[in-house]
Amino acid sequence: MIFFPPAKINLGLRVLFKRSDGYHEIDSCMLPIPLVDVLEIIPSTHFSFQQTGLTIPGINSDNLCVKAYELMRDAYSLPPVYIHLRKEIPMGAGLGGGSADAAYVLRALNSLFDLKCTSAELEEKAAQLGSDCPFFIKDIPQIAKGRGEVLSPCNVSLKGYYLKIVNPGIHVGTKEAYDGIVLCPDAPSVQSIVEGPIENWKDQLVNDFEFSVFAQHPILADVKSTLYNEGAVYASMSGSGSTMFGIYKHEPSLTFQDDSTYLEKIIHIS
């Protein structure tokens, strides 16, 4: 079986307060986008995991795909499988690629072995792997609260718009992003903003990580300014960085194609 785990972007990301369990309470809208990894899972005589494409740091046993298989294996006494992950979504980029891969392993195993797990059951399993993982159990825009695992539908669509994704090859770790974060306990509801006119987003829709991450990586602020200067109706950093994106009514041009360190893609949302 072959699956295509998608990236996501965050439309707004407010960090409200630090919880007693050590996590931060957030409010964000997550939107899946057609930038994908490739995941193949087939039955095998012994378990093995192969990864190609972009290089993932660390050892295979620490990969979230492996952990996702082990979680389901232990819960449902699953037989061995062969997993091949072709990595196309950059890491440490705020696009949720690793979380998507893990969630899609859960989905794939559910289908391959006809486990009949509900979406709610898969989301509960995914939450054990990472805060963003439950979002990728469903392929729809959702409001994410709690530490990211409390999800609800959101009436937002970018259909007909163009999305430009720009990643300048910088890896931003979660701890690095939280250094210097300013908590905003009284921030307006993200859902109320994204379900309103997109023309208002520039002045109302905020990613709180931009303040701390831009201070450490000023090039990201420059990219955001460039996106607005060339006509984006809204531009932002996704998640905790380092990917920047712009939303356009008309097809934009590639801007950074002469720099090999940049990943730049233009996607028409259909």
Token pair recorded at residue 48: 């093995």
- Residue 8 designated active-site: yes
- Torsion sign across C-alpha atoms 85, 88, 92, 98: negative
Token pair recorded at residue 14: 């407010």
Nearest C-alpha neighbor of 238 from the set 35, 83, 62, 76: 35
Place of tokens 């701890």: 175
- Of 87, 132, 145, 164, which one is the catalytic site residue? 132
Listing DSSP states for 74-86 in one string gives: HHHTPPPEEEEEE
CA distance 156 to 32: 12
- Residue 224 designated active-site: no
Phi-psi region of 163 (alpha: psi -120 to 50; beta: other; left: phi over 0): beta
Catalytic residues: 8, 132
